[in-house]
Structure 1
Amino acid sequence: MGDPNSQDKDHAWRRSILRGLERRLSTAGAKRKHLLADCLPLLERSEIRIRPDGWGQLHGFADGRAVSITPFSETLAFRRLPQLWIAVTAHCDLRARGVLDVVRRSTNAEFYAPAADLPTRFAAPAQWPPDTLVKGNGAGAPSTLALLTEPLSLLFTDARVKEALVAPRGVRIVYQAREGVRGAYLLFRQSRFSVDRLHPDEVSPLIASAQSLASLLSLPPTLKRTANAAV
């Protein structure tokens, strides 16, 4: 028979380890839930809904249009730290016929972007960054690209903007909120991000950009030409 004192110490050590893991998981879970808590005032009738992956998704309205802000993490790209993305979506019925997906620095690991499944590749406008991938489908994709050339050239001056997606049901912008903590990933393969809550000043311009694109695409054709000429 083993030493009872030794067994008690072993059990105590195991309980201590489990409590530490529980605290760490609880802290990580709280961070995921409350990442966008400070951004609630940015939207009307706003609420946070917890997704199955634990991230808190912000829902609300801006100028009468439904808006959602969805955080998610990604670790698929080879030799790159984990990424914390936020997807800002303006939900509305657009006049766009088809889908246009514009992705910066594509690594073919963008599981959230439909670009890989879209059949037509377009040349990126000259004023866009040279690492821009443009894919689409539908009869309206070329006209959507022409309409958004100038607005997206302004949006892409921020290198942390990863994607702009236009579909018949709305506009989405994907933005790099944070990059993973290097030590936690290299040593333990953990996705840790050095942020508890995103500041509203970081998220507000993305909402405004998504709203602006959605409004432009919702205009009648004659007004679209006038608005684009004024950009």
Structure 2
Amino acid sequence: MDRFITGAILVGAAVLLVLLFRHLRRASAERHAQRTGYLDVCRALLGAPRMGCGGSGFARLGGHYRGVEADVQVLPDTLTFRKLPALWVLVTLPGPLPVGATMNLMIRPTGIEPFSRFHTLTHQLDSPDDFPEDCAIRTDSRAHMPPEDLVRAHLHIFDDPKVKELVISPKGVRIVFLAEEAQRSRYLIYRDAEMGATPLALDLLKPKLDQLIALRADVLDVAAIEVQELRA
């Protein structure tokens, strides 16, 4: 009888292990599909779209938007000191620009944002009075900063409270915004930090691309005017 009970327990345990393994494998496959498909809807915004995968497993999307090269990356931030894990989207128009320094304008920086090199820039600047009161500005060269009026003309980007960072650099322009946070109850109880179950919507990404297109055009216009003045 004891052998029968022991055998039944062992068989039951083996069945539970098999079921658990199948559940974990299915959950892993679903998580992979969600992450790699997170930007699928947004493909329609770009010409000649190219899909890739970042180090976090989330999709990366490249292509052309209104004739300009565009790049969209997704980065989860699960640092434990945050109130809730966050999913950031980095929208970039990469390509050389006629500016002599990198300028990062960030809302409420902590100094360890995983998506930014803000904390590595050597100079912190005072924020002008009409800039967002909770912003910080850093650059790698005070002497070659983009003109203040140029930056001010695009501060409306921060009317969206989910926008975290604006970057103007010799390598391009970028907006970083918060796509979502982990569900509070599941995270606080189960420490479940999974995000990205619902693909990123077109109406969240398109305004950021349009804003970057306008910013890039103004950077080029300002540089052209400066060249004309030097030649005059």
Q: Same fold (TM over 0.5)?
A: yes
Aligned to 1:180: 182
Aligned to 1:15: 18
Q: Is the 8 A contact 1:89 1:171 kept in 2?
A: yes
Q: Is the 8 A contact 1:34 1:196 kept in 2?
A: no
Change (3 A) 1:202 1:104: same
1:10 Cα offset (Å): 0.3
> Is 2:144 aligned against 1:140?
yes
Aligned to 2:34: 31
Q: Is the 8 A contact 2:103 2:137 kept in 1?
A: yes
Equivalent of residue 198 in structure 1, options 192, 200, 216: 200
> Is 2:43 aligned against 1:40?
yes
> Is 2:75 aligned against 1:80?
no
- Matched to 1:175, the amino acid is F
The secondary structure found in structure 2 opposite 1:219 is: helix
Please tell me whether Structure 1 or Structure 2 has the larger radius of gyration of its CA atoms. Answer: 2
Q: TM-score, normalised by structure 2?
A: 0.89
Q: Is the 8 A contact 1:77 1:109 kept in 2?
A: no
Gaps of 5+ in 1: 225-231
Gaps of 5+ in 2: 227-232
Structure 1 segments of 4 or more deviating over 4 A? none
Q: CA RMSD in A?
A: 1.8
Question: Sequence identity of aligned pairs in percent?
Answer: 24
1:33-182 equivalences under 5 Å are 33-76=36-79, 78-138=81-141, 139-141=143-145, 143-151=146-154, 153-182=155-184
The secondary structure found in structure 2 opposite 1:159 is: coil
Counterpart CA distance in 2 for 1:156 and 1:51 is 26
1:183 Cα offset (Å): 2.3
Counterpart CA distance in 1 for 2:89 and 2:196 is 15
Q: TM-score, normalised by structure 1?
A: 0.89
Q: Is the 8 A contact 1:106 1:133 kept in 2?
A: yes
What do residues 121-178 of structure 1 show as CA deviations (whole Å, max 9, x unaligned)? 111122222110100012321x344421121x21111110000111111011101011
1:195 Cα offset (Å): 4.1
What do residues 40-76 of structure 1 show as CA deviations (whole Å, max 9, x unaligned)? 0101101211223211101101132210110111022
Alignment size in residue pairs: 222
What do residues 61-110 of structure 1 show as CA deviations (whole Å, max 9, x unaligned)? 11322101101110226241010110000012101101101110112231
Q: Is the 8 A contact 1:119 1:136 kept in 2?
A: yes
Q: Is the 8 A contact 1:76 1:109 kept in 2?
A: no
